[in-house]
Amino acid sequence: MFELWMTLIPILIADVVNPVLFAFLVYAAGTNRPVVNSCAVLLGHTLAYFGAGVVIAIGIESISNRLSNPQQIDYIIGFVIGVILLWVGFLSWKTEKKEQAEESRTLTLLSAVGLGAIVNFMGLPFALPYFAALDQILKADLTPMTSLTVLAGYNVLYAVPFALVPVLSATSGQKSQEILRKINDWLVGISNFVMPILLVLVGLALIVDSMIYFVTGYEMF
């Protein structure tokens, strides 16, 4: 289990550098109920992320069960994800991400949760590390309940840094808006530099891990 988390933590770091989610949280913090709505957006995103992970994992396992060597398919999937991460990482260096300030609007609790869920389908490159994390969890050959627990723990750890938005909104009130905008601008700026590097590193690690398994029959992670 310790070895699995040692592999998941670097992937989690790459996954957390997500300016898309943070931008929507900042937007929610500027609405009529900043704390409630930003919490609802984060909750909606976390639940949808976890649910999508379960569905994807079940799909991968279904494919694996149809093949004679389920262990091998995990490495094939990891290799494909690694190649995609490399491609997106190189592509990201050529793409500038722009964020626009949003005016304060009104959100209901239900629409805020829905907004958080919808964010999962935006910014596909930022979700790719999640596929890598799912692949590592499946490769660990854990019991179904343990796998769900690890996946839930991953999603909770993912949500922790973004909880800064409702916490700042609750403690600083209107003053938090300027702080959050500065953090958002910084995150967008640093993601333009850090995200491609993290995607490439994770992609290379998955490809190397897969190649070592194909050549030697042993796993690196």
81-107 tens-digit pLDDT: 777 767 766 665 555 444 433 444 566
Spell out the alpha helix ranges (H) of the chain. Answer: 2-16, 19-29, 34-65, 70-92, 109-118, 128-139, 144-162, 164-172, 176-216
52-91 tens-digit pLDDT: 888 877 776 665 554 445 466 667 777 777 777 677 666 6
Amino acid identity, residue 213? Answer: Y
156-180 tens-digit pLDDT: 999 999 998 999 888 887 788 888 8
Residue 185: other Cβ atoms inside 10 A: 14
The Cα–Cα gap between 73 and 139 comes to: 10
Residue 210, both tokens: 């897969």
Contact 20, 188 (CB under 8 A): no
Contact 128, 85 (CB under 8 A): yes
Contact 112, 37 (CB under 8 A): yes
The Cα–Cα gap between 76 and 78 comes to: 5
pTM (2 d.p.): 0.66
